[in-house]
Amino acid sequence: ASLHAYLVFPSSRGGRKPSGCSVPGLYGNHGSCRVRTTRASWRRVCGANSCSWMTPSQPRSATRNRRPSSKLPPGVGIGEKSPTELVKNPSSSPRVSIRFDLYQDFTKNCWFLAALASVTFHKNLLANVVPRNQSFEKNYAGIFHFRFWRFGEWVDVVVDDRLPVDKDGNLLFVSSVRKNLFWGALLEKAYAKLCGSYEDLQIGQVSEALVDFTGGVNMTIKLGQAPPDLWQIMVRAAYSGCLMGCQTRSGPERVLENGLVAGHAYTVTGIRTVTCKSGTENLVRLRNPWGKIEWKGNWSDSSSKWEQLSLKERVLLRKTREDGEFWMSIEDFEVHFVELVICKLTPDLLSYENGKEWTLSMQRGKWVEGSTAGGRMTYTESYWKNPQYRLKILLGDDMEKCTNSCNVLVSLLQKQNHKHRNQSPPLYIGISIFKV
């Protein structure tokens, strides 16, 4: 895949060249112009010159791309090392059951990991974000490539393999239960680069990361005002391959008496209707990005409610290991969580197995003061000045005979104008649809 150097090399006075590398032009002055090159060419050049590739925008350090205000435990030193310096046989390839691979460490990026765990259920989606054929073995040059969806297009981000570690050589941020797996930490580094810094990953929403990983369209349900058919909505979402995440009530991130974490994001990893002696119950399976600390109420790992199920169903669903994943009833889910995010894949990622084909149209615009900034609908004299787009729906013969209708999905995005995502707070925006 072609890579745009302006995504990899921000405007600067020049990149730093790794020790022993005498490749002319590889780390030259790029300025702010767009220089096209390829990941494969970087690998070939580095391999031929026996040198490791290094991210010019983060010279020798991912930690320099992390502002010192990040809250780390007292006494934790910061350095960086390559995975080849940490273990004998490092791996960068996601494997089976990968939602259990990763866990959150010092950073408060549970929203990032909750979204990533949801993506791991879809191999094609994960392979799009973490391209295959990247390893620490053949033609290894210290370069890794990832892809993210940003404001209507997929962008490529390239990073070196230097990862933040403490004085004992342990990864500071995203870690893996298998010490030789580094794809999660490398992906996090690429995402931190895209967002501006590791510090910019401290605060975020599951909905943001789900869009960045998939290009999908989010639907957010406030569980305090959940529709009566919430369970049916979740069933349809799961059946259609949607990704789901949720959030507990805001506040300082702390473990509550019921085992949930306040101000924390979780992944919805499954739903199930079970048959009890007293009837049926609808259950939701969730995972804590910490990889530990689980719900202690009904249908938790140690709950007596499991005794009401048949042995077959109990063996299939109940897992007593401390992995951060647990079940709870839909009723408890509505009480203890405040928000459910459902990410529906956009037409370019939807399969056409059902015979229905989507047409995708993308428009770009902006609100300009004195010109196209017309304000909200209550400003009747200026509202018409806002950007307008006309959508004409042509119904086919078959559709006219059946329902005389079609589905339309509209998503409005606000593009940030600052390199650091948390230094560009979103403004109030909206879109209205009128029949003309």
CA–CA separation, 62 and 56 (whole Å): 11
Residue 288 known to be catalytic: yes
Return the closest-CA partner of residue 412 out of 213, 238, 211, 147: 211
Question: Which of these is catalytic: 65, 128, 218, 288?
Answer: 288
Q: Could you give the C-alpha distances from 174 to 111, 148, 180, in angstroms and in order? A: 12, 18, 13
Return the closest-CA partner of residue 333 out of 266, 276, 280: 266
Residue 264 known to be catalytic: yes
- Contact in structure between 2 and 36 (CB atoms under 8 Å): yes
CA–CA separation, 143 and 136 (whole Å): 9
Tell me the residue length of the chain.
436
- 148, β-bridge pairs: 155
End-to-end CA distance of the chain: 43
Q: Is 220 helix (H, G, I), strand (E, B) or coil?
A: strand
Q: Within 10 A of 408 (CB to CB), how many other CB atoms are there? A: 10
Please list, residue by residue across 361-395, b when 16 or more beta carbons sit within 10 angstroms of its beta carbon and e when fewer do: eeeeeeeeeeeeebeeeeeeeeeebbeeeeeeeee
150: its two tokens: 């940003």
Return the closest-CA partner of residue 277 out of 319, 314, 307: 307
CA–CA separation, 242 and 402 (whole Å): 26
CA–CA separation, 207 and 172 (whole Å): 25
CA–CA separation, 203 and 348 (whole Å): 29
Question: Which of these is catalytic: 264, 336, 343, 386?
Answer: 264
311: its two tokens: 């042995």
134: its two tokens: 């990247």
Q: Report the amino acid identity of residue 428.
A: Y
Question: Which of these is catalytic: 30, 46, 51, 110?
Answer: 110
Residues with a catalytic annotation lie at 110, 264, 288
